[in-house]
């Protein structure tokens, strides 16, 4: 083993072909960048989900519609929260009467345009809910207050802090008029930033507008179509008991018990994590293809490099380089390229991941294993795709090789 020597030789040869080295490495950079970015974002989302399952939320139950016939945990996919709306206000009231239930928030998901005198936003999540919503979710207000039970007929709106600062200046938003789907609402409160883009509410509270259910019904022709009911139980020990009673109560009112789902917050976090793992795996498989292409690029260039340097190989062999030393030199060259690509790729992934995390209020997580994967996988790629060209170099016949002229 003459690794230090091979290392110097490999570095020297890579430096001699800077542009080629850079372009070849680019393929690996892109592959590793995509893979590392997926891992970074997935672990950020994972951390975000884990935050939901904190003590704050361990006595929460969620009831969601599964009206389109979907069964199982699919109903809790963050992607389809807003779709099914079989639950009614009657269910909310029935649930709130069950012993052990502290309070209940029902949610109606509405989309649409939000306008202020200054700005206009297209796809704003508007949620129609009841007066208990902030206490169920443990939300804090930075100014104003939530509408009371008596104010549900008033055209009031409460804004998430980010939306408020987007539409109007946060400190000037109070009392301003905001137009939601062509109806004017007065801002009476602003919710303090939660910093959680994934929450049990199923939406990013910081970017949503909240109105009363009665106001929400104006947009749907008078029907209150509830997508989700959040139930806070007074004691965590009662969680399973209350869950059973809710199911019994709702089954009484609904003909088909596949129309709704009741889950605890931790079950949902688990389900979301599972869903996330599936998406991550799928994404990683596709990203691996780009790394494979990068690896083929490395192999291609290494083969060109070997063909171009046949005489150099001949000279090296003539002065006493063994096959193994030649193999090491070329293999190291390939592996240094992929390792360098991995380093750049993972650095870029964290840079971009940071920007995305900032944009979507996700926590940025530094996991040692992401670095291990982002550097280990390219090393392996370099080893696999560099081996054949290196073996070809090592098996050059020095006599033939020395006859090659430039």
Partner 1 sequence: MATTRESTDSDSLVQPTAGQIFFAAPTGGDTPVIELRGAEKVFGYDDTATTALDGVDLVIERGEFVAIMGPSGCGKTTLLNVVGLLDRPTSGDYLLNGRNVAKLSASRKARIRNREVGFVFQNFNLIQKLNVLDNVTLPLTYQRGLNFRHQQKVSTLLKTFGLQNREYYMPYQLSGGQTQRVAIARALVNKPSIILADEPTGNLDSKNTEIIMDELTRIHREDNTILMVTHNPDLLSYASRVIHMKDGKIVRDIELTKNKAHATATKFVSRRKAVRGHRRSIRRLAGRSKK
Residues in the chain: 406
Burial class (CB in 10 A: 0-12, 13-18, 19+), 214: middle
181 or 311: whose CB is closer to partner 1? 311
Burial 100-116 (b: 16+ CB within 10 A, else e): bbbbbbbbbbbebebbb
Q: What distance lies between CA 159 and its chain's CA centroid?
A: 24
Calpha distance 227→110 (Å, rounded): 10
Burial class (CB in 10 A: 0-12, 13-18, 19+), 358: exposed
110 or 326: whose CB is closer to partner 1? 326
CA distances from 233 to 58, 76, 104, 124, 262 (A): 9, 20, 9, 30, 13
358 or 399: whose CB is closer to partner 1? 399
Structure tokens at 54: 């904190």
In 224-289, DSSP assigns E strands to 228-233, 260-264
Least gap, CB of 379 to partner 1 (angstroms)? 24
Alpha-carbon dihedral sign for residues 299, 302, 308, 313: negative
Least gap, CB of 312 to partner 1 (angstroms)? 5
Structure tokens at 384: 């696999």
2 or 217: whose CB is closer to partner 1? 2
The per-residue DSSP string of 292-312 comes to HHHHHHHHHHHHHHHHHTHHH
Least gap, CB of 4 to partner 1 (angstroms)? 6
Least gap, CB of 364 to partner 1 (angstroms)? 42
289 or 318: whose CB is closer to partner 1? 318
Calpha distance 146→121 (Å, rounded): 23
By the criterion CB under 8 A, which residues form the site for partner 1? 2, 4-5, 8-9, 12-13, 16, 311-312, 314-325, 398-399, 402, 405-406
Pairing verdict, β 177-180 and 183-191: antiparallel
9 or 105: whose CB is closer to partner 1? 9
270 or 398: whose CB is closer to partner 1? 398
Return the SS3 of 68.
Answer: coil
39 or 321: whose CB is closer to partner 1? 321
Beta bridge partners of 275: none
Least gap, CB of 20 to partner 1 (angstroms)? 13
DSSP code of residue 69: S
Least gap, CB of 320 to partner 1 (angstroms)? 2
Calpha distance 41→360 (Å, rounded): 11
Query: For the chain, how are helix, strand and coil distributed in percent, rounded to 5?
Result: 60, 15, 25
280 or 404: whose CB is closer to partner 1? 404
69 or 320: whose CB is closer to partner 1? 320
Least gap, CB of 319 to partner 1 (angstroms)? 4
Least gap, CB of 354 to partner 1 (angstroms)? 40
Least gap, CB of 400 to partner 1 (angstroms)? 10
Structure tokens at 352: 């971009």
Q: Where are the alpha helices (DSSP H) in 17-63?
A: 18-52
Least gap, CB of 402 to partner 1 (angstroms)? 7
């Amino acid at each position: 083993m003459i690794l230090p020597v091979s290392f110097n030789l490999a570095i020297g040869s890579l430096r001699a072909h800077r542009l080629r080295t850079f372009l070849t490495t680019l393929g690996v950079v892109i592959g590793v960048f995509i893979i590392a970015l997926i891992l970074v974002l997935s672990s950020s989302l994972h951390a975000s989900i884990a935050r939901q399952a904190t003590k704050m939320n361990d006595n929460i139950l969620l009831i969601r519609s599964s009206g389109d016939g979907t069964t199982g945990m699919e109903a809790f996919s963050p992607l389809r929260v807003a779709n099914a709306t079989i639950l009614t206000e009657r269910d909310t009231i029935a649930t709130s009467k069950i012993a052990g239930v502290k309070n209940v928030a029902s949610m109606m998901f509405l989309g649409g345009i939000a306008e202020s005198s200054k700005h206009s936003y297209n796809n704003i999540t508007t949620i129609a809910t009841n007066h208990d919503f902030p206490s169920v979710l443990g939300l804090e207000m930075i100014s104003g207050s939530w509408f009371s039970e008596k104010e549900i007929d008033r055209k009031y709106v409460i804004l998430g802090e980010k939306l408020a600062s987007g539409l109007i200046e946060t400190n000037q938003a109070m009392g301003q008029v905001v137009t939601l789907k062509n109806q004017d609402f007065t801002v009476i409160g602003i919710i303090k930033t939660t910093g959680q883009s994934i929450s049990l509410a199923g939406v990013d509270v910081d970017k949503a507008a909240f109105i009363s259910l009665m106001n929400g019904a104006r947009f749907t022709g008078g029907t209150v179509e509830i997508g989700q009911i959040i139930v806070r139980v007074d004691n965590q020990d009662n969680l399973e008991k209350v869950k059973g009673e809710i199911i019994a109560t709702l089954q009484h009112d609904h003909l088909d018990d596949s129309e709704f789902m009741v889950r605890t917050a931790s079950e949902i976090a688990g389900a979301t994590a599972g869903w996330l793992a599936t998406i991550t795996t799928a994404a990683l498989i596709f990203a691996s293809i780009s790394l494979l292409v990068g690896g083929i690029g490395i192999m291609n260039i290494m083969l060109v490099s070997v063909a171009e340097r046949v005489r150099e190989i001949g000279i090296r062999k003539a002065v006493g380089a063994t096959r193994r030393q030649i193999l090491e030199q070329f293999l190291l060259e390939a592996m240094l390229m992929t390792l360098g690509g991995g380093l750049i790729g993972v650095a870029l992934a964290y840079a971009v991941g940071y920007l995305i995390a900032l944009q979507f209020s996700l926590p940025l997580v530094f996991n040692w294993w992401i670095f291990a994967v982002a550097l280990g996988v390219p090393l392996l790629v370099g080893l696999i795709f560099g081996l054949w060209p290196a073996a070809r170099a090592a098996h050059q016949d020095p006599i033939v090789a020395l006859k090659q002229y430039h």
